[in-house]
Structure 1
Amino acid sequence: MATIRPFNAVRPREDIASKVAALPYDVYNREEALDEVLKEPFSFLKIDRAETQFDKDFNPYDVMVYEKARDILQQMISEGIFLKEGKNCYYVYELTMDGRSQAGLVGCASIDDYLDNVIKKHEKTREDKEIDRINHVDICNAQTGPIFLAYRSQKTINEVVDRIKKGSPLYDFVAPDRVRHTIWKIDKGADLETISTEFKKIRNVYIADGHHRTASAVKVGLKRREANPGYTGEEEFNFFLSVLFPHDQLMILDYNRVVKDLNGYRKEAFLSKAAQSFVIEDVGEEPYKPTEKGTFGMYLEGVWYKLTAKKEIRSNDPVEGLDVSLLQNHLLTPILNIKDIRTDKRIDFIGGIRGLKELERRVNEDMKVAFSMYPTSINELLDVSDAGQLMPPKSTWFEPKLRSGLFIHELE
């Protein structure tokens, strides 16, 4: 059963929260992060991506970068930009994009639940990415970016959240990308107890986004345990900052693919090979967005095609039946010779938030062919996780993104 608990947050002053709040550190490259920090000096990116405080050629993984992040955080606390709550609370964090809202609970999840597979995963992690966040969390002595978790919707928790949302918010602002962020504090003992008790009735929670940050938080916790053999399990380093959403409020966008070349095939030969596994229809010059599972859009030489997976390649297996697997196993690997999409430089990935015109632009500029995907569903993600399996890389793109800097969880 899931252990979720309230925490004593470090959070920005109400009047400056909108300036501090920043998109996750990993959605920016170095140049983009620097631009954001120059544009907004209070941006939390100067802590999450402290290499922005050094010359552009400075090693972003040097220990001095993480020490700089720690120093900036402590300076902002001492200057009153960040406040310490002073008591354990939960928070409701609602994000509204394009008229659609999702409301999650901000709290701390247990590293033991991760180790015991109560918190389920659906992606592999890379050691180099883990090391970066391990150093950041350990040296800052704080978790600065919340993990995006999902759980199967639960009536009692929903009722508490809905009631809290009728009160006055702690923060309420619209970010530059037009996503509205509204946050309420939960500090009454009865509500805190209800939430913690109800989560103990939930068998599993699921990592929706943030596998590397979760793995890093867990490894820092284990490191602290080793350094403190008399630990009780109640110390803050045994828990990690999370926002937990009921599954039926979440939306996954398409995660599209663009490929550099046709692996030596001419267009006609390539289409002929693809037609062995997919029914191919010419749909003209207008971008084609798939409207059902098992269908794909393909943009090639100025023309859009609809690809429909033939019955014989479809599968009821939680992983093999995913659209990303159908495309990978029956086109990208056997025809285009793209075997490992994590490392192959001939393929790139474009989040659905950027639209299909971005696929056309890439093909017209530096790629040869693009594929638009039908989004993986949240139930498919849960099914894969429950089966103890892993999704192929780049299977899900969640929007809207949680902001970093609105809540900080100190480890001591």
Structure 2
Amino acid sequence: MIVRPFKGLRPRKDMIEKVAAKPYDVVTTEEAKREAEKNPYTFYKVTRPEINFNEDVDSHSNEVILKGKEVLEQFQKDGIMILEDKPAIYVYKEEWNGLSQIGIYATFSTEEYREGKIKKHELTRKDKEDERAKHVKLLKAHTGPVFLMYRSVPELDELIIKHTSKIPEYDYTDEIGIHHTLWIIKDENEINEIVEAFKTVDAFYIADGHHRAAAAARAAEEFAKENPNHTGEEEYNFFLAVLFPHNQLNILDYNRVIRDLNGLTEKEFFEKISQKFEIKEIGNTPYKPQEKHEFGMYLNKKWYKLIAKEGTYDKNDVVSSLDVSILQENLLRPILGIENPRTDKRIDFVGGIKGIEELQKLVDNGEFKVAFALYPTSINDLMQVADEGKIMPPKSTWFEPKLKSGILVHLI
């Protein structure tokens, strides 16, 4: 597999905490605007460029997106962000809640993505792809990294880890308690050692950032069509990502809340779900599932433990065996009428980072009628789904900690 060094555009050392921001898709416009009011250097001004305007504007318009490009260029002119003097690979460590993951920032081949060597497990939406591809093309930059992983190989992992004994460029803890450390590798021999080692790897897997990867590939094709001298080595043929070994990553539960019981009384609802699940009343204490194929359910001030019965899934099919599939196919669709969880306004999703208590709060305040807590999808299940060329149901995985934007930018 191809791992390619690049000249990163990155915040000045004393500005990293001010510039780096959460991914564009986990904050609202209002949240980004509030941050910008406190901090004029936030990278939201680039990734959420609509916050640079006072009036209600079309956030997808060229004018708005080009304002993000203008801000990025101004950051560079003002020395807030600096361009590396030579191509580098960046070793990156995130520590959170007792967990640690160590990987590399580099650029990766859009051609290998198109060939399926960079494997996906989610469907992408064309409108979101269009939006991100437009952002890449107008800014001529990849402003947010894709989250990649590879099957851990001790020798490969150690090649990366050994660089963490050096003096880092960045070393700080952010506002939510994630400790970020970044080391810069510019020595050509050290870079080549890493590049050559990854040539022995058969595949990379997208953990998070499917739309960013798809958009990068789409933008690359458009850039190539516009370039009569296209060679395949241009910067637009490679996208920004962070690559981690699979065994260091952490998937949290991704839970569901539903607004109503689809016209059923509670008695009718329990009768229907008892056909597919064993039901045990837990009481007032929030119930977090302890293993696969069991679920927590909160309804009318009480928690219940649901256990999937025999026949609710195909043991020989990795997608059918996923808890998100079991819940969807045996309860949400047939009983609660949630045909398409991507588009149905009666369902919402709550990342495990918010805690199981968030589910109880959403039901108790009357916004939702019933909540379901799931056991986290495993990394191995994710990779098996990708290896088999299959697709997971929507909202199957919630990776934490997530990757920030603005730590490194790849200019095209």
Question: Counterparts of 2:5 and 2:309 in 1: how far apart (Å)?
Answer: 49
Partner residue in 2 for 1:236: 235
- Residue deviations 1:17-41 (CA, integer Å, cap 9, x gap): 1110100000011111111211221
**CA separation in 1, counterparts of 2:357 and 2:312?**
29
Match of 2:403 in 1: 402
Q: Within 5 A, what are the aligned runs for 1:355-374?
A: 355-365=355-365, 366-374=367-375
> Helix, strand or coil: the match of 2:189?
helix
Which residue does 1:336 correspond to in 2? 336
Residue 66 of structure 1 is matched in structure 2 by 65
Structure 1 unaligned blocks of 5 or more: none
Alpha-carbon distance in structure 2 between the residues aligned to 1:375 and 1:341: 18
Give a deviation string over 1:132-165, Cα, whole Å, max 9, x none: 2112111111001000001101223211222100
Q: Tell me the amino acid that sits aligned with residue 325 of structure 2.
A: S
Letter in 2 for 1:118: K
Equivalents in 1 of 2:147, 2:340: separation in Å? 26
Q: CA shift at 1:56, angstroms?
A: 4.6
SS at match of 2:331: helix
* Equivalent position of 1:383 in the other structure: 384
TM-score for the superposition, normalised by structure 1 = 0.98
SS at match of 2:165: coil
Provide the secondary structure at the position in 1 that maps to 2:219. helix
1:168 and 1:31 map into 2 onto residues whose CA distance is: 38
Q: Secondary structure at the match of 1:290?
A: coil
Match of 1:220 in 2: 219
The answer to whether residue 28 in structure 2 is matched with residue 32 in structure 1 is no
Q: CA deviation at 1:291?
A: 0.7
Superposed counterparts of 1:39-78, under 5 Å: 39-78=38-77
Whole-Å Cα distance in 1 between the matches of residues 36 and 98 of structure 2?
Answer: 29
How far off is 1:230 after superposition? 2.4
| Residue in structure 2 matched with residue 346 of structure 1 by the alignment | 346
* Alpha-carbon distance in structure 2 between the residues aligned to 1:101 and 1:79: 34
Q: Normalising by structure 2, what TM-score?
A: 0.98
Equivalent pairs counted in the alignment come to 410
The verdict on how the C-alpha distance between 1:56 and 1:373 changes in structure 2, with shifts beyond 3 A counting, is farther
Equivalent positions of 1:170-319 (< 5 A) are 170-316=169-315, 317-319=317-319
* 1:320-349 Cα shifts (integer Å, max 9, x gaps): 110000000000000001010000000000
* CA deviation vs aligned residue, 1:33-55 (integer Å, no higher than 9, x gap): 11121122111011100100112
Amino acid at match of 2:266: K
- CA distance in structure 2 between the partners assigned to 1:261 and 1:99 by the alignment: 38
Q: Distance in 1 between matches of 2:15 and 2:79?
A: 11
- Alpha-carbon contact 1:252-1:399 (below 8 Å) kept: yes
Q: CA RMSD in A?
A: 0.9
Cα deviation for residue 129 of structure 1 reads 1.1
Secondary structure in 1 matching 2:311: helix
Deviation at 1:186, TM superposition (A): 1.4
Q: CA deviation at 1:315?
A: 2.3
C-alpha distance after superposition, 1:340-364 (max 9, x if no partner): 0000000000000001111011111
Q: For 1:36, what is the secondary structure of its paired residue? A: helix
CA contact (8 A) 1:111 1:239 kept: yes
Match of 1:150 in 2: 149
Q: Per the alignment, in what secondary structure is the counterpart of residue 218 of structure 1? A: helix
Q: Distance in 2 between matches of 1:252 and 1:190?
A: 35
* Amino acid of the structure 1 residue aligned with 2:358: E
Partner of 2:324: 324
Instruction: Supply the AA of the counterpart residue of 1:123.
Output: E
Matched with 1:8 is 7
* CA displacement at 1:190 relative to structure 2: 1.9
